[in-house]
Amino acid sequence: MTVLDLDSRILQRRKLWRRINRSTGIHLGGGLLALIAAIALLAPLLAPHDPIAQDLTRRLLPPFWQAGSDPAHWLGTDNLGRDYLSRLIFGARVSLGIGLGVTLCAGLIGTMLGLLAGYFGGKTDMLISFIITTRLSLPIVLVALAAVALGGASLQTLAIVLSLLLWDRFAVVVRSATQGLRNREFVQATVSFGASSLHVMLRGILPNLRNTLIVVATLEVANVILLEAALSFLGLGARPPTPSWGLMIAEGREHILFDPWLIALPGSALCLLILAVNLLGDGVRDALDATSS
């Protein structure tokens, strides 16, 4: 690598930082996400009550903006008398935990498949592309539901099933990026030194996919969180009494006529989290696109 190359790289990195500092999406999304992550991490300290402790004498207390609210239960209680604020706070743990965990596992599977297909090409590529096409053809919600229902509904089953299903976007993106990098001079040079295929893939190609992977992972986290909520809502995800936002919406559904705030609160929390993740992802993608072109 020449001095000039190094210079231009440093320049590019500065340009990227300047873009990031100017992007409202990254600031807004990143700030909101950091806040929600902090709430999730500090949940035991922040929550005023135990999120699963029932108190049947204090069922369906209204939130603070309605008459008859109890200052001890700022956002009211659900139909089993559990403190709603505490459940919302602990719900952030479920959403973020599943979102990050599943994205990590699915990312590993997808990246590996994409690297193999893009690097070796030929028959390997044909086989892996075929697997990707097959996976894309499956109705994702239905297959996930079926697998969770048959495997026994729980958050663990849900996480495993989603990890095994949601690697497609990683595989597609990594495959085409690897195809582009495979014939570049620095990769060919490593090959000509006699480096093993594994070494070339992991040390030569993978580091160059970092930006792409960050963008895909961010968008995938939002996707996973939405799917977890939808599956829990359908009763095939988190089990009661787990404070999952999707499950809370399902539980509040019976009271939709008189207490619609029961579904409005967890739904709004979900929207805010997804919005934060998407704003951050879009912002990072735009910043990276603008600096690389």
Partner 1 sequence: MLPFLARRLIVAALVALAVSMVAFGLMFVAGDPAVVLAGQAGRAQDVEMIRQAYGLDRPLPVQFLGWIGRALTGNFGTSLYFNLPVATIIGERLPVTLMLGSVAFLLAILVSVPLGIAASLKPGGLLDRAALLLAVLGQAIPSFWLGLILIVVFGVWWGLVPISGTESWQGYILPVIVLSYYAMPALMRLTRAGMIEVLGADYIRTARAKGLARLRILMVHALRNAVLPLVSLAAVQFGMMLSGSIVIESVFAINGLGRLAWESLLRSDLPVVQAIILILSLIYVTLTTAADLVNAWLDPRLRSA
Using CB under 8 A as the criterion, which residues of the chain lie in contact with partner 1 when the complex forms? 130, 133-134, 136-143, 145-147, 149-151, 222, 226, 229-230, 233-236, 246, 249, 253, 256-257, 260, 263-264, 267, 270-271, 274-275, 278-279, 282
- C-alpha angle 150/143/282, rounded to 5°? 130
Looking at the Cβ atoms of 48 and 152, the one nearer to partner 1 is 152
Q: C-beta of 212: minimal distance to partner 1 in Å?
A: 18
Tokens of residue 128, six digits = 């892996």
Looking at the Cβ atoms of 177 and 222, the one nearer to partner 1 is 222
Q: C-beta of 108: minimal distance to partner 1 in Å?
A: 21
Q: C-beta of 250: minimal distance to partner 1 in Å?
A: 9
Instruction: Find the helix or strand (DSSP H, E) in which 50 lies.
Output: none
Q: C-beta of 194: minimal distance to partner 1 in Å?
A: 34
- C-alpha angle 146/224/169, rounded to 5°? 95
Looking at the Cβ atoms of 172 and 201, the one nearer to partner 1 is 172
Tokens of residue 145, six digits = 């539901």
Q: Measure the CA–CA gap between 251 and 235, rounded to whole angstroms.
A: 10
Q: C-beta of 174: minimal distance to partner 1 in Å?
A: 19
Q: Measure the CA–CA gap between 98 and 104, rounded to whole angstroms.
A: 10
> Distance between alpha carbon 242 and the CA centroid of its chain, in Å?
19
Find out whether 93 and 86 touch, Cβ atoms under 8 Å. no
Looking at the Cβ atoms of 108 and 150, the one nearer to partner 1 is 150
Looking at the Cβ atoms of 214 and 272, the one nearer to partner 1 is 272
Q: C-beta of 30: minimal distance to partner 1 in Å?
A: 15
Find out whether 63 and 51 touch, Cβ atoms under 8 Å. no
What is the chain's length?
293
Find out whether 1 and 277 touch, Cβ atoms under 8 Å. no
Looking at the Cβ atoms of 20 and 229, the one nearer to partner 1 is 229
